[in-house]
Structure 1
């Protein structure tokens, strides 16, 4: 029973209703003045019709009671628990010494507002529960004193002609008056307490909704910031892969052309052609990437307005699609130089498996191969390199492996952004990266595995078989 009462009062709730702002407290002062004028006017009208002649206490004490009642309205929201207890005590005392002053309708409305405010604004719910309990107990004791120990029954009998009233209804006059008085007080205090509790719970729910809305706004801002950062990292990876690959190709081909220019003009011409093609491809891919950034969400082509593109440039809708696994042969061919032969392999667990790989995974696999071969050209003395992409639908994975047979080139330690970009791509798609010297033979090996469904596999698939295949490929003479 006690637990149910505490639960109804909200004793276990952690939320505390905050104090109203100073502007609202000044509003309470104005309403207290309005209430004072109203109660005084009602009091004087009652006096004018002769209904206060039997009051034991004179006008001075009557106004003391009225002013003290209205003064409680000033602090009803600042000290709600104390006001609840004071209002109940004030009402009971006034009913004993000045019943006609207390029973006027404006005064009753003031008492109702005070008890309602105490329930609605109390921050300590256990304290307000004790205050309400104390008021109810005082009311019970008042009735016990009036009708059991006092002269309340005699007064009722004197007020009615019991000989004529006994047959007027199912209750005797004494019982009817007692029940009527109790029922009126139950309705009065019950509604004041109940409505105050409803108002308090409504304020609590409103505060919870506002807190949830603030949390949602904060989380939305955080997610937006994270999305912006993630997009910036993705763009950085794309630019790094595109620029690093094509610039390294041009550098290696230029070095090869310089070395064979005099003794083998045809080879130099081939190298210069590769440089030209690499520069065109690099510019085209960067233009596509920047065009994607400039495009609006509605798909309109804003390149001319925003970026000042060349008049002869194709519109954004005609940009080349992002590279896929089908573009690997061209990438391998472009990566081969007179100084380093590159071979590539696309292994499918079933015919057409590569075409069924989701586009984001195909692009990531392509970029990983591109970056891996760029690292070989920049940082290795390798004469042979191999790039292998395995699509295993049964295991649900895509594996990318780039191996070479060289040693680290002196003075080309790099920044580590290439491997970092690979790890970020793999982590974003639920995969992983292995990079380091090959075991048992010269060279460097990079291996990346990506799950087809975006979930990290329980173990790294096919590691022993991949090592054997990579070592076998490096032992094949050019």
Structure 2
């Protein structure tokens, strides 16, 4: 990044090259607080002028009511300091200049000096037009320092003060007393005016940074929502392709069995009942899978290409993985010791788990172990597969209700991935994988339990109901 020249740095610091406008009503209720601030300073200005008059610091020839009126007039414009910051600055410093030329003791009171400081600060901090702000503030500073220079040139107050203290006869320092007094006055005024400008500009820059951070947060939130939506769409399309393969298999089975039944009807009607029963079972399962697919993809948009997702391609695909492929996931030699167990009731029930359910359970284990390896300090984990096709109340209660069109639930299939580690610092993921996992569970009307365990570690458990008729 090239270094900026001093004029460019000043323009950037004052915001001359930006379109940011600070909202005068930010935070809410700011106008009401300005009114209370202005009224409070009016009261303080009147009280301060009376204190100064009673202490003999003001001209005795000025009537008390005029002193109070002029003091209140100086503080009153601050009630609209955020609505019209540049106008308030111009009015306040015109008040200072007029009184400084006519009744110079009044604008030198402490409260009015604070009023002029707040007016300059407000102009820099709240002006919407930064170029106009630079012009107005520059003119005010020029007038103020010109007036100060004129007062020092024609006034004799410093000379009288030095003589009254005996400083001219016995100087206490290395500098000439008059020179030191002039330098002191200039330093105080520079700190006064430049301090108000600096504080006001810091406030304006802070407001601009807050707006930029708010916009960035909104952008990140929108991008995160878009990434989640795309992940959901991608996973739904992957589910659609996988279910397409399974449904295509059942349609092929129906066609073959229908041909066999047609040939057997004329020769042996009793024997033809077996292929017809197979057709009935396959058609029911195909309808069930298609209903789940439609429910899952009902609100899917058309943002993806014709190839159907990241895997893309319309060529031949091999059958999707199932329960028999889960042990291969646990056998990876990457420093994580994974224990695998399979519980099937009755024995062999795992072989009858429908392909879509088996695929979803496989993906669950895949996602769970991937999260352990990426985001956990665990060195050991366990994967448990449970399949229960026993008839009776226990089996029916184990599932989460029957799948639409399947005639009720006939048990459940479940996987559980456990680990005993803690979240690895700085490794938080996007959560998109878990979103896709929940989408799969919803497609099968199942139940998912995902989250940290009370005893430590993390649990990913998914239970899917099984249809009445085995695949």
Q: Shorter-chain-normalised TM-score: which range?
A: 0.5 to 0.7
Q: How far has the Cα of 1:240 moved from its partner?
A: 3.0
Name 2:136's counterpart in structure 1: 131
Name 1:52's counterpart in structure 2: 58
**Aligned counterparts of 1:290 and 1:239: Cα–Cα separation in 2:** 11
CA contact (8 A) 1:254 1:275 kept: yes
Task: Give the alignment partner of residue 220 of structure 1, picking from 221, 224, 228.
Answer: 224
Moved more, 260-269 or 245-254: 260-269
CA contact (8 A) 2:124 2:197 kept: yes
Task: Give the alignment partner of residue 168 of structure 1, picking from 165, 172, 182.
Answer: 172
Cα gap change, 1:131 to 1:60, in 2 (>3 Å): same
**Aligned counterparts of 1:101 and 1:85: Cα–Cα separation in 2:** 18
CA contact (8 A) 1:292 1:316 kept: no
**Aligned counterparts of 1:85 and 1:3: Cα–Cα separation in 2:** 27
CA offsets, 1:300-340, max 9 Å, x none? 9898353358776353129xxxxxxxxxxxxxxxxxxxxxx
The answer on 1:185 being equivalent to 2:189 is yes
**Aligned counterparts of 1:311 and 1:265: Cα–Cα separation in 2:** 31
Name 2:30's counterpart in structure 1: 24
Q: How does 1:377-396 map to 2 (within 5 A)?
A: none
**Aligned counterparts of 1:187 and 1:174: Cα–Cα separation in 2:** 20
Structure 2 gaps, min length 5: 1-5, 287-352, 369-382, 387-395, 417-471
CA contact (8 A) 2:49 2:67 kept: no
**Aligned counterparts of 1:68 and 1:289: Cα–Cα separation in 2:** 81
Task: Give the alignment partner of residue 400 of structure 2, picking from 306, 327, 332.
Answer: 306
CA offsets, 1:156-196, max 9 Å, x none? 22333189313222222321221111111101111110011
CA contact (8 A) 1:303 1:316 kept: no
Name 1:285's counterpart in structure 2: 355
Q: Give the TM-score normalised by the residue count of structure 1.
A: 0.57
**Aligned counterparts of 2:363 and 2:165: Cα–Cα separation in 1:** 99
What SS does structure 1 have at the residue aligned with 2:22? coil
**Aligned counterparts of 1:181 and 1:304: Cα–Cα separation in 2:** 87
**What is the aligned length?**
313
Task: Give the alignment partner of residue 200 of structure 1, picking from 191, 200, 204.
Answer: 204
**Aligned counterparts of 2:397 and 2:11: Cα–Cα separation in 1:** 67
Q: How does 1:190-339 map to 2 (within 5 A)?
A: 190-259=194-263, 262=266, 284-288=354-358, 304=398, 306-308=400-402, 313-317=411-415
**Aligned counterparts of 1:244 and 1:303: Cα–Cα separation in 2:** 31
Q: How far has the Cα of 1:250 moved from its partner?
A: 1.0
Q: How far has the Cα of 1:137 moved from its partner?
A: 0.8
CA contact (8 A) 2:261 2:275 kept: yes
Q: How far has the Cα of 1:77 moved from its partner?
A: 0.5
The answer on 1:15 being equivalent to 2:17 is no
CA contact (8 A) 1:249 1:275 kept: yes
Name 2:73's counterpart in structure 1: 68
What SS does structure 1 have at the residue aligned with 2:57? coil
State the structure with more CA Rg: 1
Q: How far has the Cα of 1:290 moved from its partner?
A: 7.0
Task: Give the alignment partner of residue 99 of structure 2, picking from 94, 102, 106.
Answer: 94
Considering only aligned residues, what root-mean-square deviation do their CA atoms show, in Å? 3.8
